[in-house]
């Protein structure tokens, strides 16, 4: 397993990150087996959010991870990331829908800490942005969390690079700590449009920005919501995949992926995950395995580093 460094997170972050959207106390045995397998495979980066769990919006993923941390006693072995403040969600947790605001930042972080039974998060992300909200008060609120020790670092999930730059410029001008990471959709397939309203994906301009800034990318849906594994130009049974990923360029990339897989004797999924983590900027590929066996398939990608020539080949540039 390869690892990257995230500013102010004093632990190695595995380039393959564990997504935990399906976790729930009622699925404790399955959830624990996935977490155990991930840790045993060298994984350290665990991603969750207050909205995650089965069903969503009740904090069930965080609660389950908290149970596992307590039973295994492994808190210091993992880089724990959570997210919050998707507007008008998680009313059951907060008695109201939160917003992208300083007060809601503090409430969301406090709730995540309580559910996971930990006194700090290695990194916390605003799960969405609200461009109508000035960045200054948000940066100041997050720096208060840094100062109190409840988080070690922070960033933005589904923030544009322009807003991240604005936040980090504000932080620099005011002697504060800026964002340490960004989490957009990023995979071998280039989306036609955002998968969900209010989400972002890494286009070429954003890739160039990350190359220049060096800010790590924590890529959600690194296998394209299943498109990388199951995309088929004759199958229109998944409307969201069709809407987001069906185009001739992406199907061409899937063919190239199969060819490179045969050449390297590595699974297509491992190569696709390595595509995310082999860029010229630091990257973590988040995956959501449904079983311990799937964890091992994903973790195998953590040892694979593609060359620039292989990246260009997958993009159809060779």
| Token reading at 156 | 């933005």
Beta partners for residue 154, in sequence order:
124
* pLDDT value, residue 318: 72
Q: How many whole angstroms separate alpha carbon 203 and alpha carbon 209? A: 10
pLDDT in tens, 30-43: 999 999 999 999 99
CATH architecture for segment(s) 3-314 = Alpha-Beta Barrel (3.20)
Residue whose pair of structure tokens reads 């604005």 in the numeric block = 166
HSE of 124, CA atoms in CB hemisphere, 13 A: 28
Measured between alpha carbons, how far is residue 267 from residues 127, 251, 317 in Å?
31, 17, 22
pLDDT for 152 equals 98
pTM strictly above 0.85: yes
Backbone phi, psi, residue 19, to 5°: -85, 145
Inter-residue contact 274 to 13 (CB < 8 Å): no
Intervals of the chain under pLDDT 50: none
């Amino acid at each position: 397993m390869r690892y990257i460094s995230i500013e102010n997170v004093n632990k190695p972050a595995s380039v393959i990150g564990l997504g935990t959207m399906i976790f729930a106390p009622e699925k404790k045995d399955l959830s624990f087996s996935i977490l155990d397998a991930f840790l045993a495979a060298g994984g350290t980066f665990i991603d969750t959010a207050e909205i995650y769990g089965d069903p969503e919006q009740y904090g069930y993923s965080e609660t389950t991870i908290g149970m596992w941390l307590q039973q295994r006693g492994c808190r210091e072995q993992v880089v724990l990331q959570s997210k919050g403040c998707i507007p008008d969600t998680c009313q059951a947790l907060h008695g109201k829908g939160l917003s992208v605001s300083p007060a809601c930042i503090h409430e969301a972080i406090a709730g995540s800490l309580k559910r996971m039974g930990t006194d700090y998060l290695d990194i916390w992300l605003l799960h969405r942005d609200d461009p109508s909200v000035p960045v200054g008060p948000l940066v100041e609120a997050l720096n208060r969390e840094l100062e109190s020790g409840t988080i070690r670092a922070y960033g933005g999930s589904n923030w544009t690079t322009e807003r991240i730059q604005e936040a980090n410029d504000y932080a620099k001008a005011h002697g504060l700590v800026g964002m340490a990471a960004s989490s957009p959709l990023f995979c071998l397939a280039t989306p036609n449009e955002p998968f969900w309203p209010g989400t972002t994906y890494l286009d070429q301009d954003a890739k160039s920005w990350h190359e220049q800034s060096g800010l790590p990318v924590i890529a959600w849906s690194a296998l394209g919501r299943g498109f990388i594994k199951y995309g088929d130009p004759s199958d229109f049974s998944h409307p969201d995949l069709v809407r987001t990923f069906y185009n001739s360029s992406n199907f061409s990339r899937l063919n190239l992926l199969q060819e490179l897989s045969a050449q390297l004797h590595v699974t297509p999924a491992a190569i696709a995950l390595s595509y995310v983590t082999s860029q010229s900027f630091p990257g973590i590929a988040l995956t959501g395995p449904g079983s311990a066996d799937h964890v091992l398939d994903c973790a195998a990608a953590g040892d694979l580093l593609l060359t620039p020539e292989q990246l260009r080949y997958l993009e159809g540039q060779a």
